[in-house]
Structure 1
Amino acid sequence: MRLPDWEQRLADVVAAHQGGVFVWGSRDCFTFVRETVFRLTDQCIWPEIRYGGPRQATVRLRRHGFRTVSDALADVLPEVPPALARAGDVGVVIEGNAEAGVVVLGAEIVGMAPGRGLTVLPLVRLHRAFRVG
């Protein structure tokens, strides 16, 4: 269940990532999604997982039994069609040959991207979506 002030919490977590640099394992697409879910619900969907690059991130996911970020999200959150995603929900986009975690803001989604930090994309880029609260 979302906390009563989830909208302000969503704005706060997005603001906290603006201007920040992408850092694998601490300020990346997966940690951004995990932090957003926690801030909106007080639910820790994944323990803190440390990794220093894309290869280590893949290894960590596989150690938990998942091939992709969306597999990990589907294990703990209910999936919804991307067209039904609402502000505060999370999901993934496809970047190159990999999935990247994002947060839905409404008609836009945001995520942390290497070399760019917080990146805004149109909702139509959402590949899979998961309900938060």
Structure 2
Amino acid sequence: MSRDTMRLPGWDQRLADLIAAYQGGGFIWGVRDCFRLPQDVARAVAGLAIWPDVRPYCTARGAAIRLARHGFSGVGDALAAVLPEVPPAQARRGDVGMVLEAGAQAGVVVLGAEIAGMAPDGGLTLLPRARLVRAFAVG
């Protein structure tokens, strides 16, 4: 997929609805976690189904095993396999990315000056955009 791929009409409202849904629910491995969030964003923004076959898993270890079975060391590698990587400074609202949290890779969504990710102990968490380590274009 190139950066020229079109986003679906109404993507911004679907993204807002998705963020609200994630805010309303807590962190659940395999349902609302740091790998599912970028997948759900890609579907809402551009209609992309990325890595549905990595599930099911219900623990951090299970997620790591499922990613490793596909040849990935973490979320960043899995996203890079299906989305074009862009410099974090060029990521725009609705793109996805990766941060490092206690040495582990976590997927996030770019909201503008902030990014949002799922934290096991706090649910949807806003972070400064400067925390982006890698970014990937969604449409």
TM-score by length of 1: 0.97
User: Quick one: which of 124, 130, 134 aligns to 1:118?
Assistant: 124
Residue 7 of structure 1 deviates from its aligned partner by: 0.8
Residue 33 in 1 paired to residue 77 in 2?
no
- The answer for the alignment partner of 1:23 in structure 2 is 28
User: What is the rounded CA distance, in whole Å, between the counterparts of 1:4 and 1:25 in structure 2?
Assistant: 28
- The answer for the alignment partner of 2:75 in structure 1 is 69
Q: Structure 2 matches for 1:98-109, cutoff 5 A?
A: 98-109=104-115
Residue 13 in 1 paired to residue 18 in 2?
yes
Residue 58 in 1 paired to residue 64 in 2?
yes
The one-letter code matched in structure 2 to 1:123 is: R
The SS at the match of 1:73 is helix
The unaligned stretches of length 5 or more in structure 1 are none
Superposed structure 1 runs of 4+ greater than 6 Å apart: none
User: What is the rounded CA distance, in whole Å, between the counterparts of 1:46 and 1:38 in structure 2?
Assistant: 11
RMSD of aligned C-alpha atoms? Answer: 0.8
Residue 4 in 1 paired to residue 9 in 2?
yes
Residue 19 of structure 1 deviates from its aligned partner by: 3.0
* Identical residues among aligned pairs (%): 62
Q: Deviations over 1:46-86 (max 9, x none)?
A: 11511111111110001011111100000000000001110
The SS at the match of 2:135 is strand
Residue 86 in 1 paired to residue 92 in 2?
yes
CA contact (8 A) 1:26 1:50 kept: no
How many residues in Structure 1 have an aligned counterpart in Structure 2?
Answer: 133
The one-letter code matched in structure 1 to 2:26 is: V
The one-letter code matched in structure 2 to 1:93 is: V
